[in-house]
Structure 1
Amino acid sequence: MNYQIELRHLYYFKVLAEELHYRRAAERLFISQPGLTRQIKQMEEIYKTALFERGKRFVKLTPAGEYLKKEVELLFTHYHNIHTQIEKIGEGKIATLKLGFIGSAVQTILPELLTRLKSQQPMVDITLNELSNEIQMELLLKDELDFGFVRMENFPPKIESLPILTEHFALVVPKGHPLSQTKKADFAHLKEESFILFSRAYSTTYYDLVMSIFRDHHFIPNVTLRTVNALTIFNLVSQGMGMAIVPSSLKKGYNADVDFIELKHIPQRTTLYLAWNMENRNPGIPLFLEITKKICG
């Protein structure tokens, strides 16, 4: 049997691996269910291994199928990126860049970077998405993002990083709070307070770093609320729901009824990194890195 794997086979496999249901997958693909079954059987004959386990009431991936699913997702992401880049080049654009960021990046380097990039290369298309650190890492590994601005310390092997800004923390309290007049917050008086923090989903390493501040002062905080959004934190603090600890750069750019008390006396610092996938061949990446290094250098 002289079959060869074609792109359509991989796309059929991808849809079935997502649906794990032949009828639904066939409907998505606008082909008959027997036709889909034949295509998958052809693939299994070519690869000489089963990709799906089939029962009367279930369809699930085999270990080989799980592996192929991950590779096919990367393949189609890369295929989509090629398509997008070619379209942009055809329109006279140099490249398109997809950037992920956390809120504090907007208050620090990101606006200057974008201004400088547009000034030097106005024909670069840029898409911005505010995302948590963890989601940015997932998308960078899949080439669904070109760059991420993150706060984390440990990066996967394929991810390169460049430190952008290291800063201290600030304690956030409601406007006019008695602590607002102090220049040095005494944590001994904060043990009974409620705290609103960025959740572990924002970044595991960042969350652990903030919790180490409390450990150094020998208490476990009463964390009543967790979120990944800075404005939500500030609004909740302004309503008296608790205090917060955030990177000091977040005091810029938000109109909230809160005061910031700099925590320069504690040893903890947080670093904003630019991260990218070293295997990503987007032609806009070297340009963006060059501009970033000039600003940070």
Structure 2
Amino acid sequence: METQHIREFIDLGYTLNYRQTAERLFISQPTLSKHITKMEQELGVQLFIRTKQFVRLTTCGEQFYEKAKKIVTIYDEVTNKILCSRKNMEGTLRVGYLDNAIRHELVSGIEDFKAKYPNITLSLISSKNPGEIEHAIKDDAMDIALTLSFSNTVFPPEWYFEEIKPDILAAVVSKSNLLSEKSKVDFSELLEYPLLFPNATAFTDYSKCLRNFVKNSNRSANEIYEFSDIDTALIMVESGIGVTVMPKHIKCRAHSAKFIDLNDSNAIFSIGALRKITNCTPGSKEFIETLLLKYQDQNNY
């Protein structure tokens, strides 16, 4: 069984759409279909149920899908380790990051990394939202990126996300808002005020997360405003235009807005490193490991 055919199966298991997978992998649909059929013959089981209306994994297909992802990940990591070692850890590592999401660990992590790998040049690329990050990873404009992953986030199977530290979502209100005196609030209390929503294109999963909060509250929002960048949202909140929910680490950028913990077990997310599994740029894994160690060290004090 060829590794490339397994990759095609994994992508099809992710999209459940022959046309999309063929386009994503730059092959024809007949070729993709031929490869999947060959895999089914080799395994002696049916992996997909195909009708004119839908494509879905069989029970055997679901089991093989999970195992196949692990197999390809291990294969790529071993291969990349060998390739990277050949380069003797020299070159340029392009690191994308969200403003303020992991600034403290990033600064101290860079110091430690440069001390260990002086021959690797770091190129830092700032992004204002996760949408920019994901486009850059897709287009190979970044080797790794420090970004956010929410409970509803699903990255493509050929990408790998490693959590560096957890964070929580908090209610954000003006200092004159009645809720500002509370230490915790229910999301439903925010619906008494105009609600600021992140743009769905720039902040896809963040936006979906907030809309799920509204849906689960069984109430409708009083009035909705949309923002495309965090600073604009903070200005709107501090001016009393509305309230919102933001990652708590954004608090360092606020002038007078009050950040209040939410009474919701789903108000959590991860800050971590995102990369393509096949990316073998020298120092990429070592840089992530450095940040992990830095966070663990700081968290132990």
TM-score (norm 2): 0.61
Q: CA deviation at 1:275?
A: 0.4
The 1:134/1:189 distance shift into structure 2, 3 A limit, reads closer
Structure 2 residues without counterparts, runs of 5 or longer: 1-21, 28-86, 297-301
Q: CA deviation at 1:175?
A: 2.1
**Equivalent-residue separation in structure 2 for 1:105 and 1:222 (angstroms):** 30
The two structures, once aligned, show a CA RMSD in angstroms of 2.8
Do the aligned partners of 1:146 and 1:282 also contact (CA within 8 Å) in 2? yes
Kindly provide the amino acid, as one letter, of the partner of residue 134 in structure 2. Answer: M
- The one of the two structures with greater contact order (alpha-carbon pairs below 8 A, sep at least 6) is 2
Q: CA deviation at 1:250?
A: 1.2
**Equivalent-residue separation in structure 2 for 1:150 and 1:258 (angstroms):** 23
Kindly provide the amino acid, as one letter, of the partner of residue 214 in structure 2. Answer: F
**Equivalent-residue separation in structure 1 for 2:187 and 2:291 (angstroms):** 37
Residue 225 of structure 2 aligns to a residue whose secondary structure is strand
The 1:96/1:226 distance shift into structure 2, 3 A limit, reads farther
**Equivalent-residue separation in structure 2 for 1:206 and 1:168 (angstroms):** 12
The reply to whether residue 126 of structure 1 matches residue 126 of structure 2 is no
Q: CA deviation at 1:263?
A: 1.4
The 1:168/1:280 distance shift into structure 2, 3 A limit, reads same
Kindly provide the amino acid, as one letter, of the partner of residue 103 in structure 1. Answer: D
Deviations 1:151-206 (A, max 9, x none): 23211122111012222211111123221111122444433311123221233222
Matches within 5 A, 1:18-97: 94-97=90-93
**Equivalent-residue separation in structure 1 for 2:128 and 2:147 (angstroms):** 9
**Equivalent-residue separation in structure 1 for 2:129 and 2:289 (angstroms):** 25
Q: CA deviation at 1:239?
A: 1.1
Deviations 1:86-125 (A, max 9, x none): xxx9xxx932222222234245533332232234334423
Kindly provide the amino acid, as one letter, of the partner of residue 284 in structure 1. Answer: G
TM-score (norm 1): 0.62
Residue 281 of structure 1 aligns to a residue whose secondary structure is coil
The reply to whether residue 102 of structure 1 matches residue 101 of structure 2 is no
**Equivalent-residue separation in structure 2 for 1:255 and 1:168 (angstroms):** 16
Residue of structure 2 in register with 1:143 after alignment: 140
Residue of structure 1 in register with 2:232 after alignment: 232
The 1:203/1:293 distance shift into structure 2, 3 A limit, reads same
Kindly provide the amino acid, as one letter, of the partner of residue 117 in structure 1. Answer: F
Identity over aligned residues, as a percent?
A: 20
Do the aligned partners of 2:188 and 2:214 also contact (CA within 8 Å) in 1? no
Kindly provide the amino acid, as one letter, of the partner of residue 146 in structure 1. Answer: D
Kindly provide the amino acid, as one letter, of the partner of residue 232 in structure 1. Answer: T
Residue of structure 2 in register with 1:251 after alignment: 251
